[in-house]
Structure formats: structure tokens, C-alpha cells
Structure 1
Amino acid sequence: MGKYFGTDGFRGEANKVLTVEHAFKVGRFLGWYYGKDHKAKVVIGKDTRRSSYMFEYALVAGLTASGADVYLLHVTTTPSVSYVARTEDFDCGIMISASHNPFYDNGIKVINGMGHKLEAEVEAQIEAYIDGELEELPLAEKEKIGRTVDHAAGRNRYIGHLISLATRSFKDKRVGLDCSNGSASAIAKSVYDALGAKTYVINNEPDGTNINTNCGSTHIEVLQQFVKEKKLDIAFAYDGDADRCIAVDENGNVVDGDLILYVCGKYLKEQGRLNGDTIVTTIMSNLGLYKACDKAGIRYEKTAVGDKYVYENMLQNNYSLGGEQSGHIIFSKYATTGDGILTSLLLMEVVMEKKQSLGKLVEEVKIYPQLLKNVRVADKKEARENPAVVKAVEEVAETLGDDGRILVRESGTEPVIRVMVEAATDELCKECVDKVIDVMAEEGLVLS
């Protein structure tokens, strides 16, 4: 983690944490960095936040001042920027978004020419330039100054790519889409309409301030109610930049990332398309997923929290499917990042090919109750390694046995220890979590 760039780019409240000066300097550096031996080409997309236009123009000013040509996709999804960057010979792509955060936050996510998140060493150089630790970069002059190009055609090619992945028509399927008043508003409905679905869309009227507000994958209860009201066959909710997808089955039940991994993993295994018969998860995936995978003969890897780490594991081991409980699902055959709309299409493929409802397909998985509490501490390492705390954690683990688990980990960004327990009942979860936190308090480790 750098000073400005976290696991998902440079993110913070617009004009407070992240300013136009920052964006201008990011553009200046990237235009210079990629333009050392040729004229750099950079593609930019943005979500629907009011501040996205401001940051777009600042990035463009910096890039063109350094000599780069900039291609604008306008409002689009993060995965579409990744797709265009890697398939159309761009030096890098930039997505302006703060994903599932409130509208007043924004972010700059840089994607390299292979469609992957930018290398940490390059992010470190950008940070050094922002802080004035590098020499001032040369400005392009005369005909070397960059230009801006409307590239809505790139977004349209991405839409065509998504449509081409469907194995059959969705004719007569009643499909609900919650576009979170974000990036998916520009893409999702046209894809499902083209595939013949009876598409019912909510939260697809962005106004610059309503992105993620009581809608989308972080407020799934809205879509659950919509499914029941409209008697839909299936529905999907995306987040602000549409790199996540959470589904809702025909009964209005939530199908999160863990359940999507199971349904798609089992189907791909049956098809002989699940490399190594393995899915990649994070340590936060539910115990119920692992038990169901054991029964289905599916192996699994566990990484640190973050789709970045999931993809690194997939790339290293040539795995085809991985993701997070939050709905970041990566299908490495088709994408290098989580892609919410792609995920929903491939989940539809399973439903159509198996001729079963989504509710039926997830029946085999028993999701365990889960409780996570955050504890503010003075010293994360001391709190986690305290002998009394370690003993309490071991006692809880012994109590739970094979029918539960405890996970105690440090937050990567806050002075917080996260205590998570999965167990047979909500009551047992609370009892076990509180036991560990009480010991932390008794040892004087907890901040009031």
C-alpha cells in the first residue's frame, strides 16, 4: 500500500483527499512514462459521479501536456476499460470511479496495457512525482502535444463482445437489473435486450449524486423486493463501476459471490473447463462454500482479501475462476478483472444450459451464519499476538471444530483488528466473537 494508491487505485473524497491537481499530475506522469520512445495512447472511462468530469478533464490536460493521445470512452464500466486497453493496443487505461463508495468519493484506477492493475513500482513513481520528489517532467511542444479522441466506439465493441459470449437466447426470461445509478446504466440493459430477455431495470437514471444510494449490490434488499413484485425469474445487481455482481433468485433470495463461484465452478467442472478443478477464493469466503466444494470434488485456494490477490493467484497457477463474496468474480478466459455484467451473463448460461432455476442450483450449499466485528486497537500486531488473545482464539477454534471457524486479522488501512466467526447459529457466532474481544479489552488492548 502506497501513500496515495491502495489496493484499488487512488481513492478518496473529491477535492479533499483526491484533487484535480493530483489528477493532473497522474496524467502528466503517465503521458511521459509511456511516451519515452513513442507517442503514448491512453484510454479513459468514467462512472456517473458528478466529480468524474472534473477528474477526466484534469487527467486529459496532464496527459496531452506530456504528449499522449487520449481516447475517451465516456461513462462506462471498469472492465470495459480493461478490455479496450488490452485488445486495442493502448499503453494504459484509466478508470475514474470509487466503485461502491458514496458519490462524493472518487478514484483513479490505472490499468496497464495487458488489462491488469498497474504495477506497484510505477504507482510508487507517480506518488514520488506528486510529492515533488522527481525532477519536473518536460512538456510536449508544437506537434508533439497530445490530442483527445472520442472513442465511444470502443465501448460499443465491448458491448458486442459481451453479447457474443451468450450461448443461447434469453427469450421469455424475466430478468431484473439494478444498475446502481452507475456505469452499468450505459451498458447492461442494451446487452440483455439484444439477447431477447424481458428486461426490467431499476436505478438506471444517474444524476451525478445518486450512484450507490440505496441501490445496487451494496443494497440488495431493493432488488429482492423488486423480484417479488414483478415475479422475475432472476435478477442481478451491480455496483457503481460494475465490476461486481450479486444475484437474486426467483424466490427473492440473495446469491452472493460465494454462491456464484459454486454454481459456475461446478458447471465449468462438469464441462471440463475448470482448470485444475480449482476455484480461487479469499479467506473471507464462507465455510459453507468449502464444504459444498468438497462434496462436488472442487479444490480451492485461499488468498488475502482483495480481487487483486485473487487474480495474482489465478495468473500464477492458470486457474479459470476466482472471486470474492462481495461479487468480484473473475473468469480468466474472458477478462483480467472482475466484471459484473459478464458474471451475470455466464451465470445465465448455467441457468439456461442446466434448465434449472438459480434457486435450485444453489440448494446444495448451506451458508453458515457469519459475524464480523471490528475492534479499534493501539497496536494491531501486539493485539493479534498477545498470548491471552491467542489462547482465546485457540479455545474458540477448538469449540467450533469442523462446524465453524474463527478468523482474526489486521485491517490493511485502519488501526483495527477484525474478528470473524462462522458457526452453526447466530448466537454461537456472537458468543465466540465476544469472547475474543472481551479478552482484548481485559488485556488493555482496545481503544475506547
Structure 2
Amino acid sequence: MEPAKSFLDLGLHEWLIKQCEIVGLKKPTPVQEQCIPAILAGRDCIGCAKTGSGKTAAFSLPILQKLSEDPYGIFAVVLTPTRELAHQIHEQFRALGKPLGLRLSLIIGGMSLLDQGAELSHKPHVIIATPGRLADHIRSNTSFNMKKAKFLVMDEADRLLVSSFSADLGLILGILPEKRQTLMFSATMSETLEQVKSSAMSDPFIFRIESRIATVDELDQRYVLTPAAVKDAYLVNILQDFLEKHDRSLIMVFVKTCKLCQILTLALQDLGFNCNGLHSMMKQKERLAALARFKSHSIKILISTDVGSRGLDIPKVDLVVNHNVPTVSKDYIHRVGRTARANKPGLAISLVTQFDVRLVHAIEDLMGVKVAEYPFDEELVQASLNEVELAVRQAGIKLDEEDFDERRLINKRKDAILREWEAGEEEKPTQTLGNSSKTKRNKQLKR
């Protein structure tokens, strides 16, 4: 069978093809080529493809076409695990659906509940939401319902189908109609997705790139062996060396915790680097501002926790540095997927201590490739060691003075109280999710 050469071959309407051209989508990617016709034909769909392969357009285009044929609100509900990814999906829907006069509602934390409630009461065509915030609206809802929704989309589905989202997801699934199309997309096929495929969906169309290598060929993957005590000095010198050779490049640095993200951001700024942080303890407007500055090249380095590792489309990132090696190998794939996008080359460097060797081997086994050592002059580290250590120590002191840990504990207490409340709600007859109700969850997904 000849591959599709244009969006017209996929059965899309002319107005939508023209809009694709306007936003720069000239030729369908494999995931779009295979999934769009299946979704237009009314089938459930599971799409698993490498990051940067165009999965958002693979579900947004057929949804917009179906909406144009029978417009009403609320037509589609799109769930995603992070606020940043929700914003990105929102922007793509808005760009592609502009000729329709598309009504969108972005339902995420960090924004006004009242304003969001007013939006929902006006029946937007498409709701794009994180599960927690949408569940909050459902619990307090008096003015909207989703009983006529035609589509449920779960983007980064492997991340959504975990226990931390189960209560909120169960509440959402419980009020969606039985007759709907369920679309799940992810960069990796998890065991949970395999279970859903076999027990909770109605003869889904499945697209999965059969390749053991989970990253693109254009990605150069390297490691640097470093003693744990001087890892920050290694990071600083790798960044300095790379920027001297590629002064227009963008760099993402992934770290393990919010506090470390904040410390490294302050320390690097003190050392003269043009950078910002991105983590879940920042206010939403600060997170969006940091992303916007990074995308516009106003800053060159973005220090991020794993909140920035999934789905974000920043096409010009040239280097990804893993300050820590992820304990979950698939998290590594999502991190390094921020570079080498759209067939452009990219470099990923992981700082590996003596405690991380086992984790690196697990990543190599998952990908089916070996990570090579990055050539690096260690004498540079010795020359700057004291300066870097001082900057990091002063940043830590500043955070302590600002009661950063206390704010984190307050947020944890709030989360614990909410979980206790949800647990009480789940004990009622409306219970839909949890370890004892997997069958109910599967039935809901099958709807």
C-alpha cells in the first residue's frame, strides 16, 4: 500500500487541509497517516509513537472534522497529566479550529475556579483538562454536564492510568456517556495500556511503531562519569563548554526535585547563565512565563523537573542534560525526547555517578542501544569547583531563608487532606476506581 502523500488522502475536508498548511503541517506523519482514517471511521484508537511524531494532530484533526459536521458542546474531553501539556494542546486546537469559531475551555490548576466554571457553563466544544481540576468542577458542578461528549482523549495515557490519578479519572469516566470514542496516545506502550486494550476498549485500532529503539536516530546519547559530590561543577562546565561552541542553542536540564531545580536555577543565574526554572511549586503564571521565554530564546537554559519532560513541543532544543539518571527508564525516553525533534539532530548527556550504573544499563536494555561516553576535559571542573560550590551553597541558604521546605510541606498536607476526602467519597456507592474496582474502570473506559 502506497503511503499517504497529503492530508487529503486521509479523508480530511478541504478547510481543515488549508488550516494545516497555515500552521505548517504539510505532510502527515506515520501516526497521523494511520490513526486519522480510523478515528474518522468511528473506531477507538491507541496510538503509540516516538515523542515529536505529531500525536496531538492525530487526534485533534479528526475531532475537528467530526465537530464541523455536527457542532455542539460539550463535544470532546481531552485529559492530560500536566498543565504545560494542556496549554500546548489548547493552542494547537485553537490554531487548527480557528475557521470553526471553536469554543475551548482550559481546565487546569493555578487558574480561577470561578472563571473556569463560567466557561464550562457556556458549553465549550472541547474541554482540555488535567484530571484533578476537572474532577473538582464535577464535584461542585451545577451548570454543565458531559453526557453528550462524542470523544474522550487521554494524552500521555500511560501516565494518566496510574494510581495517583485513579480517583479523579474514575469520577470523570463515570459521567461520560456510554456511547463515545475513546482515544489514547502515548510515546510508550505500558503494561496498563496493554490491559486496557484487551479488556476495556471496543475493538480499538492500534498504531504502534515496532522498533525496539525508543528514541529517534538523530539523537546522540552520551554519559559523563562524575563523583556524586562534584556533579554540579560538572554540569556547569558542560553547559559553559556547549554554549561557547553553540551560542544560539537552547538547553534543557532535568533534575529530580523541585528544591534542587530552584537551587540550581539560582546558582546558575549567580554564575552568569541566562536561565529559568520549571517545577510544580511555581505559580502557574510563572511556569508559563518561563516556557514562553525559553521558546522565544529570551533564556538559553531551562532547569526542569519531570513536569517538563512530556509532550512539550519546543522544536529547537539542542541539548538535554540529565542531572540525575531517572529510576524509571521510560522517564529517560520522555526527557531526551525534548531534543532531536522534527528530524533535527540533538544531544543528550547524562551525569552518571557510581550509584547510577545499574540504571544506565536498564535504560540501554529498554532502548536496545548503548550510550557512549561524552569527551570532556575534567581539568575544567577543578578550576571552577570552589566557585560552583559557593554558588550552590548560597542558593540553598537563600531557599532556607524563604522557607521553601515549609511551603512544600504545606502543599503536601493539602494534598493529603484532599486524598483523605477523596477516599471517603470513594467508599460511597458511587465508587468507580481504586485497587478493588479495576473492572468498573475498564467498563467505563470501554464506553
Q: TM-score range by the shorter chain?
A: 0.3 to 0.5
Q: Which has the higher strand share?
A: 1
TM-score by length of 1: 0.34
TM-score by length of 2: 0.34
User: More helix per residue: 1 or 2?
Assistant: 2
Relative contact order, higher structure (CA 8 A, sep 6+): 2
